[in-house]
Amino acid sequence: MSEQTGGKHGPAEDDLIKRQDRTDLENQGEEWPGPTSPDDPETVWAEEGRFTGTAPNEDWQGVEMRSDLARQLHRTDYPITRARLLDILNRDLADQRLLDRASALPGDASYATLAELLQGLGLPVDH
């Protein structure tokens, strides 16, 4: 058995935590509810692919494109024009959906920040 390295505490604290968890489980005994049947009308299931605290109408494809774009651009790239953005995206072999959106930007526009660029591309801006 190997020891954990790089954690915030050592093996002694790990053992203490394990013992405490085991004691807590034993003390709870029958009080903890067991798993419910999915057919039980009282069972509440989260929507597929939705995390706690996220908006129900989140545009996940837009979020993915926004993340891809943010990874490919650097602070020194701003202000950025459509031509410069397309050069960067083509150089980095960006996703075609992102290239299509960038191609649709006005040719004379310049974007000073990532937020301005995201708005121009019609992608969700994280506030």
Domain ranges of the chain: 60-120
User: Which H or E element spans position 110?
Assistant: strand 110-111
How far apart are alpha carbons 26 and 47 in whole angstroms?
33
Please indicate, yes or no, whether the overall pTM of this predicted structure exceeds 0.75: no
Q: Is 12 helix (H, G, I), strand (E, B) or coil?
A: helix
Contact 111, 102 (CB under 8 A): no
When comparing pLDDT for 24 and 83, which is higher?
83
Residue-wise pLDDT for 58-85, tens only, equals 667 778 888 888 888 888 888 999 999 9
Q: Which two tokens stand for residue 26?
A: 């034993």
